[in-house]
Homo-oligomer: A and B are copies of this chain.
Amino acid sequence: MPEKIVPRSKDYSRWYTDVILQAELADYAPVRGCMVIRPYGYALWENIQQALDRRFKQTGAVNAYFPLFIPQSYIQRESEHLEGFSPELAVVTHGGGKKLEEPLIVRPTSETIINAMFARWIQSYRDLPLMINQWCNVVRWEMRTRLFLRTTEFLWQEGHTAHAAAEEAQEEVLRMLEVYRDFSENEAAVPVIPGRKSEKEKFAGAVASYSIEAMMGDKRALQAATSHNLGQNFARAFSIQYLDRNNELQYVWQTSWGLSTRFIGAIIMVHGDDQGLILPPRLAPIQTVMVPIWRGEEQRQQVMATVERVRQALGDGLRVEVDGREEYTPGWKFNHWEMKGVPLRIEIGPRDVERGQVVLARRDRPGREGKTPVPMGELAHRVPVLLEEIQASLLTRARDFLEQNTVQPTSHEQFKAIVAEGFARAHWCGDGGCEAQIQEETQATIRCIPLDQTRGPGRCIRCGKPAKEVAIFARAY
């Protein structure tokens, strides 16, 4: 039997780590705060990459690669940006056996180095818009780390764009926010609230930051992706100028947007249960696992022959694994693949072979309820349909959970109770003082100011003054 994982309800935080280690998504590295992404976790990341990369390229963005090392002076050039990062930097002081004249920073994000190149490449309005994405590793010296959620090194993509007009940049910011929302909901089955960050929560180098915010299984928030309007902050710091159609020099308007391996943490926490992971079919490295059941060699051969036929019938379009290992029992395998979150299991025993059927078991509905016998002739049709049904049902379940646990408070007292165990959708005066006091009292922060502002006028949930807008308050990862 695989090792047990602690129940979610008993210790959510340990459950999370247990699932990652037992499902072999990742492992602790022998370097402080770093992790190893194991093949099963990396295959999930590869599927995330493909789903995003396709969407990025459809918007006209192209991929490129910029250096890992950034001269220290670059980071200092954009001072607000530096403030946000200085305590988090890893510094290379020696190279080739010698002390370096200027220390090099291991990139915590690439705005500075990319914009130094943009300044070289952008000369004319004909060079705009310039829309570049990079898949890479970045390093932030985190004090308290957790697998996937917060590690010293992590993988991500960072998009960086330059535009001729402020409005174009803002359009790009919202376009990419929508790309992330679409990816999150339609590939990962993770429902999100898209919105703007408050002044206090935004990226230090940005004029305005946007994010998609998801609700984890313990009702805490997780920022799943960000999209920043950088205005002309970096353009001025790095002199990124172009000649417009009237032959006049102008600074460009810029954006950056990113999603990281942290997103894997969201998938785990949104869908997982006491049996372990539950992966959304569109991103699952293994969509269907076939578990043959037999006693003795004769039965084994008979069953395995059928398994092979079924696998052929399912075709190349599906990611199918056959677990024909002889050293494990079917029961062990059921647990094993449930822990790994494979969305659909196909059980084939001697009786099934006789009857010309198999049993399909849905990972999202454990026990009898999720099991259906299906004639073999229908499998090639039924399995893809069922996978889409599981995909849809995961999204619906997570969306219901998010909606049920997002409450509009009518009083300050009620507000405190709500953010103790969920999201509060509350009116806010827009003042940073109220925001800070709320955080001090409840640990809840403004996750975002939703794009959807259709709740009408109201009064600030903290000070009672007329509200500027509605915000989502919650405790966050």
Contacts and interface: CB of A to CB of B under 8 A. Distances in A.
Interface of A: 27, 29-31, 34-39, 41-43, 45-46, 62-71, 74, 86-97, 103-104, 106, 113, 116-117, 120-121, 126, 132, 136-137, 139, 141, 143, 152-153, 155, 327
Contacts of A91: 92-95
A65 B43 contact: no
Nearest to A73: B30
A92 B106 CA distance: 9
A29 B66 contact: yes
Given A46-B63, A89-B97, 13 more contacts: A29-B66, A30-B116, A31-B104, A35-B67, A36-B117, A37-B65, A39-B64, A42-B63, A87-B96, A87-B97, A88-B96, A90-B94, A137-B137
A253 B126 CA distance: 56
A93 B43 CA distance: 33
A67 B143 contact: no
A27 B153 contact: no
A71 B39 contact: no
22 contacts: A27-B121, A30-B71, A30-B113, A31-B70, A31-B71, A36-B64, A36-B67, A37-B65, A68-B68, A69-B90, A69-B139, A87-B96, A89-B95, A90-B104, A91-B95, A92-B92, A93-B93, A93-B94, A95-B141, A96-B143, A106-B106, A136-B137
A443 B136 CA distance: 38
Copies in the complex: 2
A31 B69 contact: yes
A46 B50 CA distance: 12
A32 to B, nearest CB: 8
A152 B106 CA distance: 14
Contacts of A116: 30
Contact of A90 (B71, B95, B113): B95
A39 B68 contact: no
A71 B97 CA distance: 16
A67 B113 contact: no
Contacts of A95: 89-91, 141, 152
A56 to B, nearest CB: 12
Contacts of A86: 97
A198 B422 CA distance: 65
Contacts of A153: 67-69
A261 B397 CA distance: 45
A246 to B, nearest CB: 16
A387 to B, nearest CB: 22
A141 B99 CA distance: 12
A476 B66 CA distance: 28
A126 B327 contact: yes
A379 to B, nearest CB: 25
- In the A-B complex, the 8 residue pairs with the smallest Cβ-Cβ separation, listed nearest first, are A96-B141, A39-B62, A34-B67, A37-B65, A91-B94, A95-B141, A93-B93, A29-B67
Contacts of A90: 69, 92, 94-96, 104
A63 B43 CA distance: 7
A471 B417 CA distance: 78
A124 to B, nearest CB: 10
Contacts of A136: 137
Contacts of A45: 65
B67 A31 contact: yes
Contacts of A30: 71, 74, 113, 116
A64 B93 contact: no
A36 to B, nearest CB: 5
Nearest to A142: B96
Nearest to A103: B94
A38 B64 contact: yes
A223 to B, nearest CB: 22
A119 to B, nearest CB: 10
A117 B38 CA distance: 10
A97 B95 CA distance: 19
Q: Which of A39, A95, A103 has the most chain B CB atoms closer than 10 A to its own CB?
A: A95
Nearest to A114: B36
A68 B151 CA distance: 12
Contacts of A27: 117, 120-121
